[in-house]
Amino acid sequence: MTGPVPMVEAQQVCKNFGALSVLKGVTLSVQPGQVLVLVGPSGSGKSTFLRCINHLETVSAGRLYLDGVLVGYRESRGKIYEMPARQAARQRRDVGMVFQHFNLFPHRTALENLIEAPIHVKKVTKAAAVERARDLLHQVGLSDKADAYPAQLSGGQQQRVAIARALAMDPKLMLFDEPTSALDPELVGEVLAVMKKLAGGGMTMIVVTHEMGFAREVADELVFMDDGVIVESGPPREVLGNPAHERTRAFLSKVM
């Protein structure tokens, strides 16, 4: 093989829900350390594609590789078999995911949210997990909220805890599914700041968002999706500044 192995490589990925086809052949690749931003109208398949990457959704056709390994399936003699649940779970440890609605565990404090998976999934000792968790909470600026329950935090704070929770597993890839869409406008900035810092630190990230400013500033590549296909992609300045397709232009005129 030539060059480094891409962190994510999608080849003609398709996804059908019954008769409805949501992804109609998505091909893209993300290099280690790259930030890819996915934009597009709702229902265009961006979130579904993101969820395919950590096998929260199964792929109907095509292939998806994570760090050179097929996601959720194993290949033998040209045939593809679905992985046993346990193996798929092991694969997900390397992929952190941040959700639109945070999905923090409401019955656990911020610190307990962070140490839950490292202790029970990765079998890290409690002391080590707590130390790492405190460090991460410090990084997202929430050192003083370690003992607060999610209901006691603002939306922006909850999302920062959720990012720290994903990072606690030391993932090689971070997926963000509209991380700021459920936030009040004045809280969006604090979450984006954490994400920028993360990108600056060399984390490989795929971000579904409507924040064009963030895309312009942070993304290495911008992908515009509509109706289950990639319409166009390229450096954000080019795609945003000089869109080649009519559909991209129509979309951008609405969101910018």
Partner 1 sequence: MFCYGAATNEAYGWATYRKYLFDHRVSEAAWNTLQLTFWAMLLGLLLGVTLAVMRLSPNPILKTVSWAYLWIFRGTPVYVQLVFWGLFPTLYQKIQIGIPFGPSFFQLNLRDLSISFILAIVGLGLNEAAYMAEIIRAGISSVPEGQTEASTALGMSWWMTMRRTVLPQAMRVIIPPTGNELISMLKTTSLVTAVPYTLELYTRTRDISAVIFQPVPLLMVAATWYLAITSVLMVGQYYLEKRFSRGISRTLTTKQLDALAAARDGREGSR
Contacting positions for partner 1 (CB under 8 A): 54, 56, 85-86, 89-90, 92-93, 95-97, 99, 101, 103-109, 116-117, 120-122, 147-152, 165-166, 169
Name which of 140 and 231 has its Cβ closer to partner 1. Answer: 140
Beta carbons within 10 angstroms of residue 105's beta carbon: 13
Provide the H-helix boundaries in the chain: 46-53, 85-92, 110-120, 126-139, 155-167, 185-200, 212-218, 236-241, 246-255
Instruction: Quote the least distance from Cβ 116 to partner 1, whole Å.
Output: 7
State which residue, 114 or 215, has the beta carbon closest to partner 1. 114
Contact 212, 39 (CB under 8 A): yes
Tokens at 209, concatenated: 């968002």
**Least distance from C-beta 134 to partner 1, angstroms?**
15
- What amino acid is encoded at 12 in this protein? Q
| Residue number, 161 or 239, with CB nearest to partner 1 | 161
The minimum distance between CB 159 and partner 1, in angstroms, equals 13
Give the nearest distance from C-beta 29 to partner 1 in angstroms.
22
Are 71 and 53 in contact by the 8 Å Cβ rule? The answer is yes
Apex 121 CA angle, 180 and 75, nearest 5 = 90
CA 161/CA 140 separation, integer angstroms: 7
Tokens of 184: 């009040």
**Looking at beta carbons only, is 109 or 204 nearer to partner 1?**
109
CB of 117 to partner 1, least distance (A): 4
Nearest residue (CB) to partner 1, 65 versus 99: 99
User: Whose CA is closest to 176, among 54, 9, 43?
Assistant: 54
Smallest distance from partner 1 to CB 78, Å: 29
Report d(CA 23, CA 225) in Å as an integer: 10
Neighbours of 157 (CB within 10 A): 21
Closer to partner 1 by Cβ: residue 53 or 215: 53
Distance in Å, CB of 52 to partner 1, minimum: 13
Give the C-alpha separation, 104 to 98, whole Å: 10
Nearest residue (CB) to partner 1, 114 versus 223: 114
